[in-house]
Amino acid sequence: MNEYNENPKRYDPRMHSAEHLLNQTMVRMFDCGRAISAHIEKKKSKCDYAFQRVLTPEEISEIERKVNEAIAADYPIGEGFMERNEAAERFNLSRFRKRRGRPSA
C-alpha cells in the first residue's frame, strides 16, 4: 500500500474491492450513481445510496447474487496511478477533496 492510501483503521483490500463491485452493480441495476457515503472496514462495512424508495427483498437478493457472482469470477485486480488531470478526464472526481497548494482538476 502506498502513502496516499494509508488508513489507520483495519483496511482490507478485499472489502475495498467488494465496495467497487457493489457500486458497479448498483449503477447498472438502478442508475443511481455510486454510494453517497461508504465506511469500509475489515469486520463491518456499509454503503449508502440515494433512493426515493425502499428496495424490495427481491432487488436486495438480486444485488447480493450479482456481487457474489462477480466475486466468484475472480477478476484480476490491480492498482495504478495517474496524474490528477488525466483522472479528471476519465472519472468523476467530485467526491475528492481539493488539495491545498495543488492545482485542482
Using one digit for the tens of pLDDT, what is the confidence trace for 22-41? 999 999 999 998 888 888 88
Give which of 33, 21, 19, 29 is closest to 92, Cα–Cα.
Answer: 33
Output 19-22 pairs: Cβ under 8 A, ≥24 positions apart: 19/45, 19/47, 21/67, 21/70, 21/71, 22/47, 22/63, 22/67
- pLDDT at 1 > cutoff 50: no
Q: Is the pTM higher than 0.75?
A: no
**What local confidence, expressed as pLDDT, does residue 38 receive?**
87
CATH class of 7-90: alpha beta
**What local confidence, expressed as pLDDT, does residue 78 receive?**
84
For the ranges 4-13, 50-59, 72-81, the one whose mean pLDDT is highest = 50-59
CA distances from 14 to 18, 24, 74, 101, 105 (A): 6, 15, 11, 33, 29
pLDDT tens string 56-99? 999 999 999 999 999 999 999 888 899 999 999 998 887 777 76
**Run of H or E including 65:** helix 57-72
Per mean pLDDT, which range of 9-18, 34-43, 46-55, 85-94 is the poorest?
Answer: 9-18
Higher per-residue pLDDT: 20 or 105: 20
- The three cell numbers of residue 97 are 477533496
